Amino acid sequence: MNNSPIIIGGQGGSCTRVVAMLLKDSGKIHFLESSADTIDSLSLRESRLCKDEDLIQDLIEYTQSLNYEIDHIPRSIRDRIEGKMDIFQRLVNDELIEKLSNELWSWKEPKTIFYLPFFMKLYPNFKFIHVLRDGRGIRSLHIQGKPEIYNSYFHQNLKFKSKIIDREKFESLWAHMNLDIYDWCTKNLGDNYYQIRVEDLLNNDKKEDEIIKLYDFVDIRVDPSTIHRIIDQFRPMRKFNKTKLKEDVLKAMKIFGYVI
């Protein structure tokens, strides 16, 4: 089994599942055993790495960014993360032990975005597919919409009436998190980083070309009839009219190629 995985991640609600289905349905890549509905990795779920929201909050409280270096993190937090990473690696090794040495493999889990430096330490040559979706279309019920995450990220102590932050603050968090991912990946992954807007896969008249570019990134070739069959599974996404956005959100939208 190739020791360099293809990791699919992005903010919760970004439709990482669409990209996972495109790769999985190609028949060319082995996906870690996953849940039937979300296609999230069961090994990650069992290790609790991406399900321990207290750990995520503690990490973000300290880094206030997704663009961080492991050596700068307190030993207490680092040990907790690396302990769960060890469990994950053992589970993965057990699952892949009988696979071919050159076979491509992958998993999808949105919350891997919190641990990219740790995955690089574990798999130095991994490929990362950063799935983007217009922040105005993401429901804020995901972890990024929780007041604790917002306060940790921006080092604030705001009081919220709801368990979910308001739309304006969520969009700011969307902007800062995705820019952090972009900055870290371009600095550390180089050609092993691929950014894709899910709208281009679902709404673009050239979505077949977008899928082929995705397949090129992971170095697979798929018959056109298979691509057409996969495309037919998806419906177009909602398009947004012009809206007034905060300056930090507007900056991120423009960097990621969204027309405002």
1: in domain: no
- Please determine, for residue 252, whether its predicted confidence score (pLDDT) is greater than 70: yes
Q: What proportion of the chain, given as a percentage, has pLDDT over 70?
A: 94
160: in domain: yes
228: in domain: yes
> 89-141, pLDDT tens digit by residue?
999 988 887 765 668 999 999 999 999 999 999 999 999 999 999 888 887 66
Q: Report the CATH number that the domain containing residue 237 is assigned in CATH.
A: 3.40.50
260: in domain: no
155: in domain: yes
Residue 244 CA, chain-centre distance (Å), reads 27
Instruction: Produce one character per residue of 69-86: b if its CB has 16 or more CB atoms within 10 Å, e if not.
Output: eeeebeeeeeebbeebbe
Q: Which pLDDT value is given to residue 258?
A: 86
Q: Which two tokens stand for residue 224?
A: 């056109």
- Please determine, for residue 64, whether its predicted confidence score (pLDDT) is greater than 90: yes
> 183-227, pLDDT tens digit by residue?
999 999 999 999 999 988 887 777 888 889 999 999 998 887 887
Cα separation of 182 and 245, whole Å?
21
Q: Average per-residue pLDDT in the chain?
A: 88
Cα separation of 223 and 200, whole Å?
20
Q: Which domain holds residue 99?
A: 6-255
Rounded alpha-carbon distances, angstroms, from residue 34 to 8, 153, 158:
13, 30, 37
236: in domain: yes
The pTM score is 0.92
16: in domain: yes
77: in domain: yes
> 229-241, pLDDT tens digit by residue?
777 777 777 676 6
Total number of domains in the chain: 1
